[in-house]
């Protein structure tokens, strides 16, 4: 038996037990290792779904161009889908993203435009604004807009949620994931809560992002927004995919704690994962220490692979420059 193209390998990623970094924690802590997807990240799932839905709606026609603002992983999923379906890709990225991410996207045939990080989302130089501008200018182009495109969360409702429910035989009691666009946690969480409303959904946020305060107070506080280094989670906007009713609580994790936990996962668990995976595990274990009971089962999403961060958190010199080693 063979598959017709690489995107048919997306999904059915393994669930793996954490053994060493969970010292002193009751219950079982499992991780959903999403780097087994062909683009090495969880974003492959929603990239295909957004393109499927755009084709069905007639928004993307043969030979068209996909234009998206990405921190790297969604771009990779879209690029692989574009190769399989015959589209071109142009991606805008903020300049804080690792050089590896830019180079990987170029390697799979995408054009990459790097934009400044430290500008507001509505600034014409931001990676959101540049993507919208290109979409308006280029004929037969499609801007998926992963932040507000509800096909993002729907992809996880249809795939990630059912996989976790089946893999844990319905024993899952807690679900944890980093929150960026919100698609992973809200789509997966919605499915799991429909199976068992008692499942607790823990969102991991970063300092410099608006999510935690907004959840707790309903206030969008611009004073919460400042530059941070962790890639792929946190936002200075409220994406439509973030349904705060589906996220029971948020925990914030510092750049340093996330980076050091990411390195621990590689050394102690053999999981060579990306930076936001460290955020997810550090924050989820902080919650688990206080709340997990003997017969509880927590599942944490590990979104991507360590190859995206070789020049940063896996580079001792870079880590020393940050004062983190």
From the list 32, 43, 190, 229, the catalytic residue is 43
pLDDT at 97: 87
Residue 93 structural domain: 43-142
Choose one of 107, 142, 177: the last residue of a domain: 142
pLDDT surpasses 90 at 109: yes
Choose one of 142, 177, 192: the last residue of a domain: 142
pLDDT at 118: 86
Active site (annotated) includes residue 43:
yes
* Residue 1 in domain: no
Report d(CA 225, CA 125) in Å as an integer. Answer: 18
Query: 229 phi and psi, to 5 degrees?
Result: -100, -30
User: Both 199 and 297 in a single domain?
Assistant: yes
Q: What mean pLDDT value characterizes the chain?
A: 96
Choose one of 89, 115, 142: the last residue of a domain: 142
Q: How many helices (H) and strands (E) does the chain have?
A: 11, 10
- pLDDT tens per residue across span 231-278: 999 999 999 999 999 999 999 999 999 999 999 999 999 999 999 999
- pLDDT tens per residue across span 201-210: 999 999 999 9
Instruction: Kindly list the strands in the beta sheet with 200-206, ordered across the sheet, starting from the edge strand earlier in the chain.
Output: 15-17, 28-33, 297-302, 174-178, 200-206, 249-253
User: Both 88 and 103 in a single domain?
Assistant: yes
User: Both 74 and 186 in a single domain?
Assistant: no
- Which helix (H) or strand (E) covers residue 161, if one does? helix 160-167
Count structural domains, the chain. 2
């Amino acid at each position: 038996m063979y598959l017709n193209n690489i995107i048919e390998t997306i999904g059915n990623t393994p669930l793996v037990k954490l053994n060493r970094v969970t010292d002193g924690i009751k219950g079982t802590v499992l991780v959903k290792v999403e780097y087994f997807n062909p683009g090495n990240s969880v974003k492959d799932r929603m990239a295909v779904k957004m393109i499927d839905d755009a084709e069905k709606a007639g928004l993307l026609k043969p030979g068209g161009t996909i234009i998206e603002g990405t921190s790297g992983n969604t771009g990779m999923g879209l690029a692989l889908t574009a190769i399989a379906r015959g589209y071109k890709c142009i991606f805008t990225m903020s300049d804080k993203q690792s050089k590896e991410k830019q180079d990987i996207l170029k390697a799979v045939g995408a054009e990459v435009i790097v934009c400044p990080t430290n500008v507001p989302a509505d600034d014409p130089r931001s990676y959101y604004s540049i993507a919208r501008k290109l979409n308006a200018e280029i004929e037969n182009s499609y801007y998926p807009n992963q932040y507000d495109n509800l096909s993002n969360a729907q992809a996880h409702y249809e795939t990630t949620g059912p996989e976790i429910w089946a893999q844990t035989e319905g024993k899952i009691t807690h679900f944890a994931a980093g929150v960026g666009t919100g698609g992973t946690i809200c789509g997966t969480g919605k499915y799991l809560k429909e199976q068992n409303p008692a499942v607790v959904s823990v969102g991991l946020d970063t300092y410099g992002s608006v999510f935690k305060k907004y959840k707790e107070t309903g206030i969008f506080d611009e004073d919460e927004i400042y530059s941070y280094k962790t890639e792929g989670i946190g936002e200075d906007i409220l994406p439509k995919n973030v349904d705060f009713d589906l996220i029971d609580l948020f925990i914030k994790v510092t750049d340093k704690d996330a980076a050091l936990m990411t390195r621990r996962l590689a050394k102690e668990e053999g999981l060579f994962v990306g930076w936001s995976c460290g955020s997810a595990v550090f924050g989820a274990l902080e919650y688990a220490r206080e709340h997990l009971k003997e017969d509880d089962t927590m599942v944490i999403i590990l979104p991507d692979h360590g190859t995206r961060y070789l020049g940063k958190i896996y580079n001792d010199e870079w880590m020393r420059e940050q004062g983190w080693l």
